Amino acid sequence: MRLYRDTVRVPADARGAIAAIGNFDGLHRGHQAVIGEAMRLARAKGCPSAVVTFEPHPRRFFKPDLPPFLLAGARMKIGLLRTAGIDLCFALRFGRPLAGMTAEAFVADVLVRDLGLAGVVAGYDFVFGKGRAGSPETLVAEMARAGRVAKIVAPALDAAAAGRAGAEGDPEAFVYSSTGVRDALKAGDPRAAARILGRPFAIDGRVRRGDARGRTIGFPTANIALDGYLPPAFGVYAVRVDGAAEGRTVAGVANLGVRPTVGGDPAPRLEVHLFDFDGDLYGRRLVVSLVEFLRPERKFESLDALKAQIATDAAAARATLDRSA
């Protein structure tokens, strides 16, 4: 996959693509339906498949003081797109120029003139342009005006959940959405989040030096800051970790929170203890997938009490991960 961060020097062989367009935070099953349709149309036409997305997330530009809310950082999102088999990714820098552009100008000047797209695919709720004035209908009309095509994809539904709820369930309640993922994570239900995402929710980040207290009580941890990720429910999780050992995923147990037993932290962090692993992880980038919520974070009376609880948590995590292997 080729990655472009601006629209200035798009080569001729990257033009004529059919692109899915959206923020795609989390790349959940609804997003996957939009991207999959763009790939299908591109194959049928014999042209490149592409994604047009925005970094940073526009919500961060318009409301910089919002609490962290991301479900996937830029690195993870681009990696997932690469794995999906997309040919081109236009990760456009979102700032004042794009924020101030009308919907009509965005289609004419960016999608058609600069990127040279042959067509676009968007979700049913896609809005764009200054003041969020552009709707899916606007996108279809403006692309048609330029002699290009646009397709709008209907909401993707969690049919299994809707079936369990019965015929009287509200269909909107079963739409795969980023809001649904966030609600599940805040409720301490990573399995529900994984059902919407199509994979476990994961946090990627570089291992930073901590106070090494875990090593002194027999449970060394890799410390990762959340760096813009939505903080899931504070507590202990069974996890799987990629990036620690070449070619394999390592099981572990993690605490996500503010560490009240040792004085607390101003910002939440993820502390991961890897099972059956001995190596230096400082500076390495890990991807930590949350598999199961084991218990809420709480304060212990002593480090000995904390150590005993971690041993219990580790056993519970091993058993959980063995069952879900």
pLDDT digits (tens, 9 = 90+) for 242-282: 999 888 999 999 999 998 877 767 789 999 999 999 888 99
| 19: amino acid identity, one letter | A
What pLDDT, in 10s, does the model give residues 189-200?
999 999 999 999
Give the pair of three-digit tokens for residue 204: 């990627």
Give the whole-angstrom CA distance, residue 256 versus residue 272: 9
Quickly state the pLDDT bin for 57 (edges 50, 70, 90): very high
Paired with 241 in beta bridges are 250, 288
Quickly state the pLDDT bin for 162 (edges 50, 70, 90): low
More confident residue, 1 or 164: 1
Whether the pLDDT of residue 46 is over 90: the answer is yes
* Span 49-58, average pLDDT: 96
Q: What is the pLDDT of residue 167?
A: 46
Share of the chain above pLDDT 90, in %: 80
Looking at the domain that runs over 2-153, which CATH code has it been given? Answer: 3.40.50.620
Q: What is the pLDDT of residue 44?
A: 97
What pLDDT, in 10s, does the model give residues 198-249?
999 999 999 988 665 666 667 889 999 999 999 999 999 999 999 998 889 9
Looking at the domain that runs over 200-323, which CATH code has it been given? Answer: 2.40.30.30
Q: What is the pLDDT of residue 174?
A: 81
Dihedral sign, CA of 151, 155, 158, 159? negative
Q: Is 271 a catalytic residue?
A: yes
Whether the pLDDT of residue 99 is over 70: the answer is yes
Please identify which of the residues 37, 142, 246, 271 carries the catalytic annotation: 271
Give the pair of three-digit tokens for residue 79: 């990696």
Question: What does the mean pLDDT of the chain come to?
Answer: 92
Distances (CA, A) of 278 to 85, 146, 219: 34, 59, 11
Q: Do domains 2-153 and 200-323 have the same CATH topology?
A: no
- The runs of H, that is alpha helices, within the chain are 29-45, 58-62, 74-84, 96-99, 103-105, 136-145, 159-165, 178-186, 190-197, 213-216, 303-323
- Pairing verdict, β 285-296 and 88-93: unpaired
Give the residue from 241, 239, 321, 220 showing the smallest Cα distance to 286.
Answer: 241
* Span 318-322, average pLDDT: 96
Q: What is the pLDDT of residue 262?
A: 76
Q: Among 8-17, 140-149, 260-269, whose mean pLDDT is lowest?
A: 260-269
Give the whole-angstrom CA distance, residue 75 versus residue 11: 23
Whether the pLDDT of residue 36 is over 70: the answer is yes
Q: What is the pLDDT of residue 267?
A: 85
Whether the pLDDT of residue 96 is over 80: the answer is yes
Give the whole-angstrom CA distance, residue 308 versus residue 191: 27
Give the whole-angstrom CA distance, residue 287 versus residue 310: 22
The C-alpha torsion from 302 through 306 and 309 to 310, rounded to 10°, is: -160
More confident residue, 118 or 167: 118
Q: What is the pLDDT of residue 170?
A: 57
What does the domain layout of the chain look like in residue ranges?
2-153, 200-323
